[in-house]
Chains A and B, each alone.
Chain A
Amino acid sequence: MGTILVVAEIQKGAIREASYELVAAAQGIEGGEVNGLVIGSGVGDLANEFASKGAGKTYVVDDAAAENYNVDVWSKAIKAAAEASSADLILISNTPTGWDVAPRIAAGLDCAFTSDCISAAAGDGGYDFVRRIFGGKLDAEVSTSGATVATMQPGAMAAFEGSSDGGTEALSADLAAGAKFVEIKVAEATGVDLTKADVIVSGGRGVGDPEKFPEVIQPLADALGGAMGASRPVVDAGWLDHPYQVGSSGQIVAPKLYIAAGISGAIQHLVGMKASNFIVAINKDPDAPIFEVADVGVVADLFDIVPALTEAVSAAKG
């Protein structure tokens, strides 16, 4: 096996936890030498940190052109590092950065690609991965042949906590870009702040009708003194506004009680609520992935359970 190049991602001035999960994945692959790559502007210290915390020899593309993420800059920097390190496997996190750039690298190098993996291992002439498909309802075992680019699902494995002694090496590359970064717009503040609620009752696609949110979901949230949330398909369909969205691209919540009604449990949603203290899932499909993160599950029609629960909660309050 050749070198495994681990591409770090910087968020709010620090190397992301997900990048150390990549290090753990790389360190867990037998026979591969691990190298790191840090891309940014003024990132010498972060590269030293990455090199000493498991990434081993770390290449640094430190350039004003890389101050903000840019698909072309990253694409060129990763290709340059892949060449310098003779990488056989390139690992990138499956984040908005990863899914933007990783497939481009694979196409540019004409090599194997797989994405959003939850495990990685050395294979026969390539690498073996496990990834989730159909929104987590099924798993797939995937093999690659030859050089490989893979993205790993953030949170799928524990971050590496050991040390390494690799040192850093500055890498210069032609970073001319077609795409141009303009700005980051942060989410606008709205009246809906689910992160402060003790109880959240969220509805998903299973609610089936926008009118059922005020009729069925909100009353239970009200009875419990909590807030109403939703999964992404509900917001995408325009049934509720984005501030109600719980998940990786919405709000990350951890209330005392989270009730998921008619939500199957796509990973994007689970990321946003699995830290809740107590999770109740109500879904007709006994195989729905939501039951894997729930403490208590009810396999039934939410329209039978939720209104009855609302009534019982109101009655219990007297």
Chain B
Amino acid sequence: MKVMVCLKQVPHQDARLDVNADGTWIQEDNIKFEINSYDTYAVEEALRLKDAGSADEVVVVSIGPDRVTQALRTALGMGADRAIHVNDDAAAGADALATAKILAAVAKEEGADLVFAGLMADDDNASAIPPMVAELLGFPSATGVLATDFSGDAVKVERELEGGALEVVELPKPCLIAIQSGANQVRYASLKGIMQAKKKPVDVKTLGDLGLADQASAAQNKTTVNKIYVPAKGDTAEILSGSTDEVVGQLVTKIKELGLL
């Protein structure tokens, strides 16, 4: 079974978020990037299948500029076998559907039996792409998955619903599974893994290589981000000021007023 994992490189969770010059995205120069947190769980889920002998190969795929190599190397260091990097200026700023078309083309070319992805991205919080990829491939899909069971012919998954309830669903293979944050404990890339990763292939492709030259670039976007901004503060908190003792004193007064002391 060949397993493909879609991963996105996103600004580090603690990165400073400044709006860029044209106001449409954040300033990306001189900030740190990392693998989208949800995607790390997806990589881990795929590697566990390989550890168990159910997956023959784990291929990680990412779209983006040169910096994305770092995210792919990290995934290779964790144990993925191969990486595909779609590096094409025309794909920069592509909307979710155009991006899904690129990932679906890669999955088709690879003949993936199983596609893993993270439920959503930490930057745009869209949770859009994985079901789109599944639809384009004609695969059944499940999102928000916390547990997988590959012991039968069909894959049994547990989807997280609200309030901690879980929905158990069976998907025939091939299928796509979008993993929820917290599904497993993600391994770190070991030093040995990082050394080995340097020898693993990272295949760089353009949209043209995938037969998508005029079909999946930002020029085809049906959804456009016009402007991003810091939201206007609504009814914000009364901010307490002063020394630690003064602040603590004010908090104790509030707690007393609530009748809790």
Contact = CB atoms under 8 A, between A and B. Distances in A.
B79 interface: no
B244 A308 contact: yes
Interface string A186-200: 110000000000110
Given A232-B181, A256-B260, A138 B231 contact: yes
A297 B131 CA distance: 40
Contacts of A186: 164-165
A307 to B, nearest CB: 10
Interface in B141-183: 141-144, 154, 156, 158-172, 175, 181-182
Interface in A116-139: 116, 126, 131-139
Interface stretch (A50-58, A160-168, A244-252): A244-252
B133 to A, nearest CB: 8
B191 interface: no
Contact of B237 (A115, A225, A292): A292
A249 B164 contact: yes
Interface in A152-205: 177-187, 198-199, 205
Interface residues of B, number: 86
Contact of B167 (A69, A138, A300): A69
A18 to B, nearest CB: 11
Contacts of B22: none
Contacts of B141: 71, 100, 104, 179
Contacts of B252: 309, 312-313, 316
B261 A304 contact: no
B222 interface: yes
Interface stretch (A25-33, A39-47, A140-148, A209-217): A140-148
Contacts of A135: 122, 125
Given A101-B131, A134-B122, A280 B154 contact: no
- Interface size bracket, A side: 35 or more
A126 to B, nearest CB: 8
Nearest to A297: B237
Given A104-B132, A114-B223, A137-B17, A257 B258 contact: yes
B162 A295 contact: no
Nearest to B124: A133
Contacts of B127: 94, 99, 103, 115-116
Contact of A99 (B119, B182, B238): B119
Chain A at the B interface: mostly helix, strand, loop or mixed? Answer: mixed
Contact of A142 (B142, B143, B166, B226): B226
A305 B247 contact: yes
A104 B154 CA distance: 21
A110 interface: yes
Given A135-B125, A291-B237, A103 B132 contact: yes
B244 A304 contact: yes
B216 to A, nearest CB: 12
Interface string B202-234: 000000000000000000001111111111011
B165 A292 contact: no
A225 to B, nearest CB: 8
A308 B250 CA distance: 12
Interface string B32-46: 000001000000000
Contacts of A182: 156, 168-170
B34 to A, nearest CB: 14
B255 interface: yes
B167 A297 contact: no
B142 A296 contact: no
Contacts of B159: 96, 100
A269 interface: no
B236 interface: yes
A298 B222 contact: no
Instruction: Give the residue among B133, B231, B259 with the most A Cβ atoms within 10 A.
Output: B231
B100 to A, nearest CB: 6
Contact of B229 (A95, A138, A183): A138
A13 interface: no
A294 B234 CA distance: 11
Instruction: Give the residue among B158, B171, B234, B255 with the most A Cβ atoms within 10 A.
Output: B255
Contacts of A281: 237
B192 to A, nearest CB: 24
B163 A187 contact: yes
B140 A179 contact: yes
Contacts of B96: 103, 106, 113
A281 to B, nearest CB: 6
Contact of B222 (A138, A139, A146, A238): A146
B90 interface: no
Given A99-B144, A114-B128, 8 more contacts: A70-B169, A100-B141, A107-B97, A138-B228, A140-B124, A248-B162, A257-B258, A305-B248
29 contacts: A71-B140, A96-B159, A103-B128, A104-B131, A106-B96, A110-B97, A113-B128, A131-B125, A134-B125, A136-B231, A141-B228, A143-B224, A182-B170, A183-B167, A184-B166, A186-B164, A251-B164, A256-B260, A279-B237, A292-B237, A294-B236, A295-B237, A296-B251, A297-B237, A297-B239, A297-B240, A298-B239, A308-B248, A309-B252
